[in-house]
């Protein structure tokens, strides 16, 4: 689950990580009030959307008075911001973060994330802060320094000192950085984060490190342990169909193509998407109904696929392992009777009780085509969408 910058900074403060003073505002008046209460001479107004690259896109404004904070806020709210991370359609700004501006001596990059190859968190730091870290990683990967955290012994001070020296700091600043890192790693573990990124981490004129920007992504599987954090979810930032799917425990991700997919098992869903692409078309979604899909889940999945206008035809690809093919076929037939299915459907079934399953589908009187294998299924569905 992604958080907004203002939410991440509130959590940072709880873990005693220095951040600029500020608060979130939903209107110009509110922003004005917040600015007046800040102990500042310069202010920053920052669009709150789930995407980075706001600075370059005009989503971060530096101003000199509370009145200007109000104007900047009114300009931003309601605007669609297009950054390199939003896609061409952009994201609508509904709120801004109003902060006291910081005096910047140096901008750095700092991140903690899970290294899935080594099964442990990794700290990444670079003196190339404030810019796109993906570019740095591509152009000059030697400028990103890494320290892996052994889950048994935790973060050690010498690792912080090592990073500090590599970044070019003296012992005193390296010790400050180490203290900062210690808190950040504690937070990372404490909230079950999968990623936290501070870009830029700023060294102020007063030689203090503060998190000027804050990105925090929580591991969905850890949310059950943090009901207070689960409440921070902002569904206005998410795709409405994905929100609907998550209510029904369906693993659904909307994509740009026109072939709707309903598959059981994430691996098979990936393979199905590959087959569609190989046959020359694009999937409209990833949808894993799970190993034990009930008739009700199939029905919900149908409803979500049918409410996507881009879906021209649906490919159902099921392997009957835990779930028997006849049970699934019955579920599909029931669901198709309840949901108005007005687009062609190809079904490929394999596994336990497959013959019974095919029979149920063939005798249902519904307009399904049953395919013979994955290759046949993907070729059939692609030829259907190509014929429109």
**Contact partner, 60, from ligand GDP, Mn ion, none, Cβ < 5-8 Å per class:** ligand GDP
d(CA 93, CA 77): 5
**Contact partner, 44, from ligand GDP, Mn ion, none, Cβ < 5-8 Å per class:** ligand GDP
Nearer of residues 70 and 215 to Mn ion, judged by Cβ: 215
Question: Looking up tokens 């899935």, which residue turns up?
Answer: 116
Nearer of residues 54 and 380 to ligand GDP, judged by Cβ: 54
Scanning 157-165, 209-217, 302-310, 341-349 for contacts with Mn ion by CB under 5 A, the matching segment is 209-217
Cβ contacts of residue 287 below 8 Å, gap of 6+? 245, 250, 251, 252, 253, 260, 261, 262, 263, 269, 301, 304, 305
Instruction: Give me the least distance between CB of 3 and ligand GDP, in Å please.
Output: 14
Instruction: Give me the least distance between CB of 363 and ligand GDP, in Å please.
Output: 57
In this structure, are residues 288 and 263 in contact, taking their beta carbons and an 8 Å threshold? yes
Nearer of residues 204 and 364 to ligand GDP, judged by Cβ: 204
Instruction: Give me the least distance between CB of 346 and ligand GDP, in Å please.
Output: 43
Positions touching ligand GDP (CB under 6 A) are 20, 44, 46, 52-55, 60, 62, 101-102, 104, 107, 130, 199-200, 212-213
Query: 109 an active-site residue?
Result: yes
Q: Active site residue: 5, 6, 43, 109, which one? A: 109
Nearer of residues 55 and 321 to Mn ion, judged by Cβ: 55
**Contact partner, 104, from Mn ion, ligand GDP, none, Cβ < 5-8 Å per class:** ligand GDP
Instruction: Give me the least distance between CB of 130 and Mn ion, in Å please.
Output: 7
Q: Active site residue: 197, 252, 299, 379, which one? A: 197
Closest CA to 306 of 374, 349, 369, 245: 245
Nearer of residues 5 and 326 to ligand GDP, judged by Cβ: 5
The strand pairing partners of 288, in sequence order, are 251, 263
Instruction: Give me the least distance between CB of 8 and ligand GDP, in Å please.
Output: 11
| Residues 219-258: x where in contact with Mn ion by CB under 5 A, - otherwise, as a string | ----------------------------------------
Instruction: Give me the least distance between CB of 239 and ligand GDP, in Å please.
Output: 21
Does residue 15 have a cis bond before it (omega within 30 degrees)?
no
- Angle in degrees, 0-180, between the axes of helices 66-76 and 28-36, rounded to the nearest 10: 150
5 binds Mn ion, rule: CB under 5 A: no
Among 102, 126, 196, 199, binds Mn ion (CB under 5 A): 199
Nearer of residues 62 and 278 to Mn ion, judged by Cβ: 62
Instruction: Give me the least distance between CB of 98 and Mn ion, in Å please.
Output: 17
Cβ contacts of residue 347 below 8 Å, gap of 6+? 315, 316, 317, 318, 332, 361, 368, 369, 370, 371, 377
**Contact partner, 370, from ligand GDP, Mn ion, none, Cβ < 5-8 Å per class:** none
Query: 197 an active-site residue?
Result: yes
Name the residue with the smallest CB distance to ligand GDP: 55
Nearer of residues 213 and 379 to Mn ion, judged by Cβ: 213
213 binds Mn ion, rule: CB under 5 A: yes
d(CA 290, CA 318): 10
- Give the burial class of 235: count Cβ atoms within 10 A of its Cβ; 0-12 exposed, 13-18 middle, 19 or more buried: exposed
Report the catalytic residues.
109, 197
> Which residues of this chain interact with Mn ion, rule CB under 5 A?
199, 213
């Amino acid at each position: 689950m992604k958080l907004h910058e203002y939410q991440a900074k509130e959590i940072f403060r709880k873990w005693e990580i220095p951040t600029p003073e500020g608060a979130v505002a939903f209107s110009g008046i509110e922003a004005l009030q917040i600015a007046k209460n800040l102990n500042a001479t310069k202010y920053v107004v920052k669009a709150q959307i789930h995407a980075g690259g706001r600075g370059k896109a005009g989503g971060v404004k530096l101003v000199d008075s509370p009145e200007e904070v109000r104007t900047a806020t009114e300009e931003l709210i309601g605007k669609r911001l297009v950054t390199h991370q939003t896609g061409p359609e952009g994201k609508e700004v509904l709120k801004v973060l109003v902060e006291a501006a910081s005096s910047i001596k140096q901008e750095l990059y700092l991140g903690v994330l899970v290294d899935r190859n080594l099964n442990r968190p990794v700290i990444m730091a670079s003196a190339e802060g404030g810019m796109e870290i993906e570019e740095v990683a591509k152009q000059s990967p030697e400028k990103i320094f890494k320290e892996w955290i052994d889950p048994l012994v935790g973060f050690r001070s010498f690792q912080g000192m090592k990073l500090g020296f590599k970044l070019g700091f003296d012992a005193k600043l390296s010790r400050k950085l180490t203290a900062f890192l210690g808190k950040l790693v504690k937070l990372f573990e404490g909230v079950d984060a999968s990623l936290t990124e501070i870009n830029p981490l700023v060294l102020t004129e007063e030689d203090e490190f503060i998190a000027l920007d804050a990105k925090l992504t929580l591991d969905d599987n850890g949310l059950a342990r943090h009901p207070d954090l689960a409440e921070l979810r902002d569904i206005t930032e998410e795709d409405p169909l994905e929100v609907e799917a998550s209510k029904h425990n369906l693993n659904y991700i909307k994509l740009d193509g026109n072939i709707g997919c309903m598959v059981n098992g994430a691996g098979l869903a990936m393979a199905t998407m590959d087959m569609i692409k190989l046959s020359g078309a694009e999937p409209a979604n990833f949808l894993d109904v799970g190993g034990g899909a009930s008739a009700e889940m199939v029905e919900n999945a149908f409803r979500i696929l049918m409410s996507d206008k881009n879906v021209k035809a649906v490919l159902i690809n099921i392997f009957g392992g835990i779930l028997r093919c006849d049970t699934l076929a019955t579920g599909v037939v029931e669901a198709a009777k309840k949901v108005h299915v007005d687009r062609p459907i190809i079904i490929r079934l394999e596994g336990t009780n497959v013959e019974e399953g095919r029979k149920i589908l063939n005798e249902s009187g519904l307009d399904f085509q049953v395919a013979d294998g994955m290759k046949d299924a993907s070729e059939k569905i692609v030829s259907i969408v190509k014929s429109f």
